[in-house]
Amino acid sequence: MQRIGFLVYPGFQIMTLAAASVFEFANLTLKQTNYDVAFVSEYGGPVASSLGAPVETKAIGKPCFDTLLIGCGTGIPSVPDSLIEIVRRAPRSARRVAGICTGAFLLAQAGLLNGRRATTHWLFARQLAERHPEVTVEDDRIFIVDGDIWTSAGMTAGIDLALAMVEKDLGTDVARKVAQKLVIYHRRTGGQSQFSALLELEPKSDRIQNALNYARSHLKSILSVEELAEAASLSPRQFSRAFTEETGQSPAKAVERLRVEAARLMMEQTRHSIEVIAREVGFADRERMRRAFLRAFGQPPQAMRRHAAEPEADTQAA
């Protein structure tokens, strides 16, 4: 049986604990206790979350866990040096130590990320890099495995990280069944992007949102301004003006961004060739998709596909 410790501190974000359900459902799936999960804190007793709801914990004492997961807060955590020292000692007995979201800051303060790759919520990635220049921060990753140290992006990404741990421990089939029971459509790979083009565009009106939804559902089509304007129930001139005002981008630029995002997801989730992917998402040919990737990411599709696969290889080796 593997002991899993969830380390929390005053003001932790309660959604961090959602990752614990992954280990619970792994036990339920196999109908045996593979994981013994405990919520721990520096001194034990009830620990109040940022929402105010307390969680009963045990004193961590001398860490003795197979896996120690460090929770996050709604901002950059502020914890006493004594807790940082506990985190610093954790790898001496734990097979792996993980920081969920801003929990990466505690790992960095403890020196456990020195010379390693790591990620955190995109909102705080720059601060992590500035405070800890010895850490290679990758702000566009769902989770990263570097040796025995794991880090994840925002709080829900902790679920993906926990599923990857279950996959490493118990196999792909068990991890897939756990994801299904948790109604998670697809376990995101570590290399998947934190960002969404639709979220970045953030249109203010339903009409422009309808046009974007239409575009996303018809990427294989040419998607002229006239076609998008019809989806928005506007004239082409009204549509172009409103679209640019609400999103800060031209319709053509936004459609290219949606296509690039769709292509990137296909590269992460399928083994289709670059040529097939380019055709499926509406690029006229492979070369046009390559140029669009260079504009969006500064890298060609082949490099993005290799990079997305790297954390998965790390997981298998961890």
- Of 175, 193, 211, which one is at a domain's C-terminal end? 193
In this structure, what are the phi and psi dihedrals at residue 231, rounded to the nearest 5 degrees?
Answer: -65, -30
- Could you give the CA distance from residue 4 to residue 152 in angstroms, rounded to a whole number? 17
Question: Looking at the structure, do residues 145 and 228 belong to the same domain, yes or no?
Answer: no
Residue for token pair 């890298």: 299
- Could you give the CA distance from residue 194 to residue 215 in angstroms, rounded to a whole number? 21
User: 305 pLDDT band (50/70/90 cuts)?
Assistant: confident
Q: Is the pLDDT of residue 213 over 80?
A: yes
DSSP letter for 49, please.
B
- Could you give the CA distance from residue 227 to residue 215 in angstroms, rounded to a whole number? 9
Has residue 148 been placed in a domain?
Answer: yes
Residue span of the structural domain in which 284 resides: 197-310
Question: Looking at the structure, do residues 117 and 203 belong to the same domain, yes or no?
Answer: no
Question: Looking at the structure, do residues 263 and 168 belong to the same domain, yes or no?
Answer: no
pLDDT of 195 reads 55
Give the chain's domain count: 2
- Could you give the CA distance from residue 107 to residue 110 in angstroms, rounded to a whole number? 5
Has residue 305 been placed in a domain?
Answer: yes
Question: Looking at the structure, do residues 188 and 138 belong to the same domain, yes or no?
Answer: yes
Residue for token pair 């690029």: 283
Q: Is the pLDDT of residue 151 over 50?
A: yes
pTM for the predicted model, two decimal places: 0.67
Query: Where are any strands of DSSP class E within 50-135?
Result: 54-59, 67-70, 96-99, 117-118
For residue range 22-64, list pLDDT tens digits in order. 999 999 999 999 999 999 999 999 999 999 999 999 999 877 8
- Could you give the CA distance from residue 75 to residue 102 in angstroms, rounded to a whole number? 7
